[in-house]
Structure 1
Amino acid sequence: MSKIVPTILCAALLTLPVAATAGGRVLSNDLSQCQRGPSALIQIDGIKSSSGKLRIQSYRATSSDWLAKGRWLSRVEVPARAGSMTVCVPLPEAGSYGIAVRHDVNGNGKTDLRSDGGGMSNNPSINIFNLGKPSYKKTAFAVGNAPKNLSITMKYM
């Protein structure tokens, strides 16, 4: 894969809203919540350092909700650990969702394009001529009344 595509995807991921707005619930990473009911058990790979925080947000997979400011359903924030981490995101009901992950490497709460990274459910690529966010259709996954296993690979500049 060309270096241009991951760079542009990373830039698109880093435009995700940073401040806590009128979104949903902020949760702890309680893996027991992914033993039953609608939830996403997410294996996050490719975390480049153990500094800063990971922010994992869930959205309904609709064009009006996906990555829209204040439209996230739940958020889990955890200290970053280089390599791989597993995170549980409980979901409100069976349905179609998307997950966005952001690594704030220096923990300053701001987007630093040269150091911060991101990833999304289904690990979408992005069209280099469309610098916007990937479509909700590319990141959507279905969840029934049981946990859904996902794998997200982080991308950095």
Structure 2
Amino acid sequence: MSKSSIPFLAAGAGLFAALALAGIPGSAEASASCAAGRPSVLVRVDGLKQPTGQLKVSLYGSDASLWLAKQGRIHRTKVPVTGKAMDICLPVPAPGRYAVAVHHDLNLNGSRDRQDGGGYSRNPKVSLLNPKPPFARASFPVGQEQAQVGVTLLYIKGMSVGPAGS
């Protein structure tokens, strides 16, 4: 199986964007948008294999045809990993349906490899043979206020993927 068949390992897959919440480096505009009660999403990233490396988080809009495509990203950022779980706030342009993809660059080498982890909002089931969930399984609604969504990171384990602790 090639690296390109696994979205959170595939070079150029364009999966990652986000803006940081309190205490994590990020855009001042993003923090202001999240703090002001505007439409936003608080992403709770759990299951980091180690509290090192960098998180790359991407926010995608409601156009399912652009899900996981570089041109479909609404926001993209990288934040240093500071623990085994992190909260990241993403401002959204307007109420609607959104989805999030997260990549954990564990070894900070800038490329996606077998040590790295990844996951999607709402934790849809993925496998090595079916690594890209449909937008409908990862998407969630955002209204006028902050929405919350979880992402549990998955890592390659032999011929399968799963949470770091299992």
Say whether the fold is shared (TM-score over 0.5).
Answer: yes
Distance in 2 between residues matched to 1:19 and 1:87, nearest whole Å: 18
Aligned residue type for 1:144: G
Q: Which runs of 4+ in 1 moved over 4 A?
A: 23-27, 29-32
- The answer on 1:88 being equivalent to 2:89 is yes
Q: Which residue of 2 aligns with 1:155?
A: 154
TM-score norm. by structure 1 comes to: 0.79
Q: Which residue of 2 aligns with 1:42?
A: 43
Q: Which residue of 2 aligns with 1:17?
A: 12
SS in 2 for 1:112: coil
Structure 2 residue ranges without an equivalent (≥5): 21-25, 157-166
Residue pair 2:13, 2:69 contacting (<8 A) in 1 also? no
Aligned residue type for 2:144: N
1:65-88 deviation per Cα after TM superposition (whole angstroms, max 9, x unaligned): 110123200023110133111111
SS in 2 for 1:82: coil
**What is the percent sequence identity of the aligned residues?**
33
Q: Post-superposition shift, 1:13? A: 3.0
1:31-62 deviation per Cα after TM superposition (whole angstroms, max 9, x unaligned): 55323111111111111112211011100132
Distance in 2 between residues matched to 1:46 and 1:54, nearest whole Å: 12
Question: Are residues 120 and 24 of structure 1, via their aligned partners in 2, closer, same or farther at CA, if it must alter by over 3 Å?
Answer: closer
Question: Are residues 141 and 66 of structure 1, via their aligned partners in 2, closer, same or farther at CA, if it must alter by over 3 Å?
Answer: same
Residue pair 2:46, 2:84 contacting (<8 A) in 1 also? yes
TM-score norm. by structure 2 comes to: 0.75
Question: Are residues 122 and 16 of structure 1, via their aligned partners in 2, closer, same or farther at CA, if it must alter by over 3 Å?
Answer: farther
Structure 1 residue ranges without an equivalent (≥5): 1-9
Q: Which residue of 1 aligns with 2:102?
A: 101
SS in 2 for 1:150: strand
